[in-house]
Structure 1
Amino acid sequence: MAEQLKKPENMNALAHRIASLGYHPVPIQVGRKGPTFANWQNYIATPENIDRDFPATGVVIGCLHDNLGCIDIDVYDADVSKLIADEFRSRFPAALERVGQAPKTAFVFRLPETAYTVSNTGKYSHGGKEGQVEIRTKTGQMVVYGKHPDTKLPYTWPAGDLWETPIDALPMIGEWEVEEFRDWAEEALMDWAGVKTAEQPQQAMIIDFGSYSNGNDGPPSEAAIRDALSYITPHCPHDEWVEVLMALHDYYNGSAAGLSVAQDWSSPHSTYDPKEVASKWKSFKGDGVSYTTLFHHAKMSGADLSELARKHRPQPAVEAMSRQVPAPSVQIDLSNGQPVQQPKVEKPVTDYPTEYDMFDGASLPRRQWLYGTHYLRGFVSVMASAGGIGKTSLQIVEALAMVTGKPLLGEVVHETCKVWIINLEDPLEEMQRRIIAAMQHYNIKPEDVRGRLFVDAGRDFSLTFAAQTRDGVIPNEALVDHLIKKIPEREIGMTFIDPFVGAHQVSENDNGAVNDVVAQIRRVADETNSGMGLVHHIRKGNGEDANVDSIRGAGSLIGAARAARVINKITEDEAVRLGVSEKEASGIFRVDDGKANLAPPTHAAVYRKMIGEQIPNGEWVGVAIEYKMPDEWAGMTTEVTNNILRQIDNGLQNQDGEEYFSKNVQAKERWVGNLITSYPFDKAEDHKSQAQAKIILDRWFKEGLLIEETYRSEKRRKDVKGVFTTGRVGEQYVG
């Protein structure tokens, strides 16, 4: 992108450029770190507004955090700041870095459509220097271009400029990933400060008149405005009365609804004149006093702003859930124009305990498996993995297998059905690339899929089954009812939700809260008799393979699932050690059955591999395919094995005297594995690599078929170790 875009020549052009790339610039006065005009959180950077508010010089450019997240490493110790920054780069190498006042630094990334809030680390100090990592998402802004008010030097972007990077090119970092980094940074700061107990980050007060001009909070609710107004008497001095009206005017943007509030508040005054209030209201030009002044006057009149904050703290999760369900269609009685009242059906309550009387096993219905031993109707399944291995691509191929009835990955498709893929992390265009690449690789035609595959993704779609608030966990029953209606209507047999963390807003470490979320999903599976597949993340390990206990969050998720798989990446070195050739060693991963309590466990390891598929637009896209690891014992018949053993006993006969093979690969031509790698197998696919030869030799040594003994080497004129056999095999040797 840097080669295609010319650097903007001034601040006005710069604001136009970053707006065209998907960011939301906001003007800031020189010498400040944030906007000072009222209602700046709702500023819209239209071309006309940019030309009006961003001169060529003498302005600082900020960017709203509604789609741009920021990790602000506010650490004054250079070594610690570098340590934390290096860790962030290692996790998210595509994020951009912005430096304002070194050694402090900040990184920016893309936020999902449904933004989240992650608390900052505590604030620590050591040797007179302070340090904290701030997480800025959802609301507020950050300076991206202009001069720092303290250093008087321009903000810089060491690893790529914002003006040359579209918002879509930034990595989208999920809430759980930010939380993991925050926790790591907390521990690093604690080690630096020499403390053992984490500091609790200072929570910004919602109802704090100072915070609205400099903080990271959105506007208060109307209920909070009215509550604060109730503390202020309309019998106050005239100047104060005008200020209150101006604050209301700012909050309501001069609307008629705001004027009505101003009239109601002013009316108890003995000289109240509605015309005077209306005249004042119309005279305000929208500058000077902001709505935060209202809270100042409320505080001066005895209001406890902390209590107001607690009482009126917004619950955006609940509000967002209410917007996720389409408005229901209402039947109208044409005779009277009124909605038809639907009778409410109550489920009968049976008496219990219930006596057991089923003894005819043959009459019991069979479990309705959809795919392999992973997905079945009426139950929830889980697939977990670290990021970037291939779980989403694997899910897509499995979905296409169920849609077409073809065993694309070698696993049984028990029932061909319609599938719904919900991706709450990637944009729809990315999902379309992956689906088209998979269809192309597996030669699946549009007519094989059309009407049978449903896809909703990322920025255009949100799904929240429950949210955790100060009042507890609130289930999104309207959403569940909607899904219970729509899934059977579309005859969908399997629904995938990726990732699970995007489908709720509760603490992952709260078993009760997670159980409430899963209960909603299980209800959908049960009442629609369809399968529900949840794709989840695993905790970052210490180089060890992940298992079911590595799955992030509370154990109630796994307890509720009827099948769980864990994906582990096979590194290229590991693959080579397992006998894979170096050119095929990349992109391999293993899929382990972590829990399959309705089916026998899979004994053989299942491997998949990511390969590149070039789609018609010229891009290369990853596709998951079936992969079988090389069998080091293929072709190792009794005859072949004994032939190799005889050659080992014969040793190396040459003019320098008798020599025997060495166990060490460093011996080069004397390495005993050469006899295996050079053996003339009948089938070309049975030829062994060096890694496979090592596996075979290790087994033979462990079983005692080979031993290492010392012999006198005339060539070297000293005693050396050689490999000898202890006999021959009479049956085919199997691994």
Structure 2
Amino acid sequence: MKADAIPVKKKRLVEAHRFIWHNPATIPRRECLYPDLYYRGFATATVAPGGIGKSGLCLVEAVALASGRDLLRIGSRFRTDEKLRVWYWNGEDPFDELERQVHAICQHYRIDRDEIDGHLFLDSGRDMPIKLVTASGRDGFKVQPEVLNQLEGTIGGNGIELAIFDPLANFVTANANSNEVMAAISETCATVASHCGCGIGLVHHPRKTNGAEITAEDARGGGALIAGFRVVRVLNRMTAAEAEKAGIPGNGHRRYFRATLDKINLTPPRDDVTWRYLEDVVLPNGDPYDLINPDGDHVRVVVPWRWPNPFDDVQSHQIIAFQDALERNETRNRASQQSTDWVGHLLAEILELDTGRFIKSKDERSTAQNAARNRCAEIIKQWIDSGMLTEETVPDEKKGRDIPVVRVGTRYA
């Protein structure tokens, strides 16, 4: 038989492979690029309504990784000993707007050119549209093989370690509400992440919730999206009720939002919430000859924000002074916040806070007064839990019934 006539055995497309036991200590560790969020070889989704700050958040994270600086105060788990090559593609904004945002981030966080040079890649979908999944005839959609090849070639050719595509709606032309389309895009992104050894981040919009808090389940094509991504983060704007507790007046709460990992399969679940704030940064591109608007462009930059701790600025001498005052004053120790003799008012005087003691209606008190009440109430609650204060009932001769009061428990030393 001639050599060219030797039959070639075709490789089977589907076959089972016997598991071979290896020492688990030799298995490569999962590589986290950004704590709890971006991982090499996996795809991540960020879901949030428009205007909340999701693009700004992702761009700050991109600059943080490109500069090797923990801009959002993630902590010790953020790798500051290396810089990553990060590609941020935005399908909505023109390139000069993206450039404004990057410069505003660098201006606020005092990052110079050399810190990100060669590590940050930035593109606009207006100049370079990417349509990975398109509408197609009877099947409804089609993954474009040429776009996929170019995508993997660009990521691999530039050594990109994290690619963020924002938003997903500009990444596809097929129905973004379709579970089948979402399954195709999540599977394709996971494949790109695996082939290129990089992390993939997609930014996505939720369905309309009429103002209700969103979860991962609210993402368009939610079922398939959740199934296809190993990490799903959701962003929600601060509510008016939360703002009141934090002492934020007016509509200022609209510049605050919280990020929650609604699905995370790669690390133990966390119940903490991360708060962020949109800081106003003015670029040095103003025109002094413009008499109407001489300022440079205003750009909002995402910065870290911590929920106020009720014990912030509470000094040791104030704690001692409060316990002394409480022991001396038996008529200012009521447990009920409705009473003008509520113990919280006594604490507020020691801390130099205005709780609007004689204003009974919540609506008539200022935001600061309501916030001061909430703060004093939380401090007293924690002191009761710790034993520094105790709660008991005593007879009230005027009302003819027992009333709850607060007394000193364990003395603060």
Q: 1:379 aligns with which of 30, 42, 57?
A: 42
Q: Find the counterpart in structure 2 of residue 563 from structure 1.
A: 231
TM-score by length of 1: 0.46
d(CA) in 1 for partners of 2:11, 2:36: 34
Q: Aligned AA for 1:619?
A: D
Q: Which moved more, 1:671-680 or 1:600-609?
A: 671-680
Q: Which one has a bigger Cα radius of gyration? A: 1
Equivalent residue runs for 1:339-418 within 5 Å: 349=12, 352-411=15-74, 412-414=77-79, 415-418=82-85
Query: 1:177-207: per-residue Cα shift (whole Å, max 9, x none)?
Result: xxxxxxxxxxxxxxxxxxxxxxxxxxxxxxx
Q: Aligned AA for 1:408?
A: L
Q: 1:725 aligns with which of 379, 401, 406?
A: 406
d(CA) in 1 for partners of 2:276, 2:84: 23
Q: 2:373 aligns with which of 690, 703, 712?
A: 690
Closer/same/farther in 2, CA of residues 558 and 450 from structure 1, 3 Å limit: same
Pairing 1:501–2:182 present: no
Q: 1:460 aligns with which of 124, 127, 132?
A: 127
d(CA) in 2 for partners of 1:556, 1:694: 44
Q: Partner of 2:186: helix, strand, or coil?
A: helix
Is the contact between residue 579 and residue 632 of structure 1 (CA under 8 Å) also seen in structure 2?
no
Query: 1:332-352: per-residue Cα shift (whole Å, max 9, x none)?
Result: xxxxxxxxxxxxxxx965763
Q: 1:620 aligns with which of 298, 310, 315?
A: 298
Q: Partner of 2:36: helix, strand, or coil?
A: coil
Q: 2:350 aligns with which of 679, 687, 695?
A: 679
Q: Find the counterpart in structure 1 of residue 118 from structure 2.
A: 451
Is the contact between residue 437 and residue 614 of structure 1 (CA under 8 Å) also seen in structure 2?
yes
Closer/same/farther in 2, CA of residues 551 and 585 from structure 1, 3 Å limit: same
Q: Find the counterpart in structure 2 of residue 706 from structure 1.
A: 391
Structure 2 residue runs of 5 or longer lacking an equivalent are 1-9, 286-295, 353-370
d(CA) in 1 for partners of 2:307, 2:98: 29
Q: CA deviation at 1:706?
A: 2.9
How many residues align? The count is 369
Q: CA deviation at 1:580?
A: 5.8
Q: Find the counterpart in structure 1 of residue 361 from structure 2.
A: none
Equivalent residue runs for 1:278-357 within 5 Å: 349=12, 352-357=15-20
Closer/same/farther in 2, CA of residues 535 and 659 from structure 1, 3 Å limit: closer
Query: 1:268-288: per-residue Cα shift (whole Å, max 9, x none)?
Result: xxxxxxxxxxxxxxxxxxxxx
Equivalent residue runs for 1:101-500 within 5 Å: 349=12, 352-411=15-74, 412-414=77-79, 415-472=82-139, 473-500=141-168
Query: 1:654-694: per-residue Cα shift (whole Å, max 9, x none)?
Result: xxxx5654623673xx342223333359xxxxxx9433113
Q: Partner of 2:302: helix, strand, or coil?
A: strand
d(CA) in 2 for partners of 1:731, 1:360: 54
TM-score by length of 2: 0.79
Q: CA deviation at 1:514?
A: 1.6
Q: Partner of 1:417: helix, strand, or coil?
A: coil
Closer/same/farther in 2, CA of residues 665 and 390 from structure 1, 3 Å limit: farther
Q: Which moved more, 1:459-468 or 1:543-552?
A: 543-552
Q: Aligned AA for 1:421?
A: Y
Closer/same/farther in 2, CA of residues 552 and 729 from structure 1, 3 Å limit: farther
d(CA) in 1 for partners of 2:318, 2:208: 45
d(CA) in 2 for partners of 1:603, 1:659: 38
Is the contact between residue 401 and residue 413 of structure 1 (CA under 8 Å) also seen in structure 2?
no
Is the contact between residue 701 and residue 707 of structure 1 (CA under 8 Å) also seen in structure 2?
no
Q: Aligned AA for 1:388?
A: G
Aligned residues: percent identity?
27
Q: Aligned AA for 2:78?
A: V
Is the contact between residue 463 and residue 502 of structure 1 (CA under 8 Å) also seen in structure 2?
yes
Q: Partner of 1:447: helix, strand, or coil?
A: helix
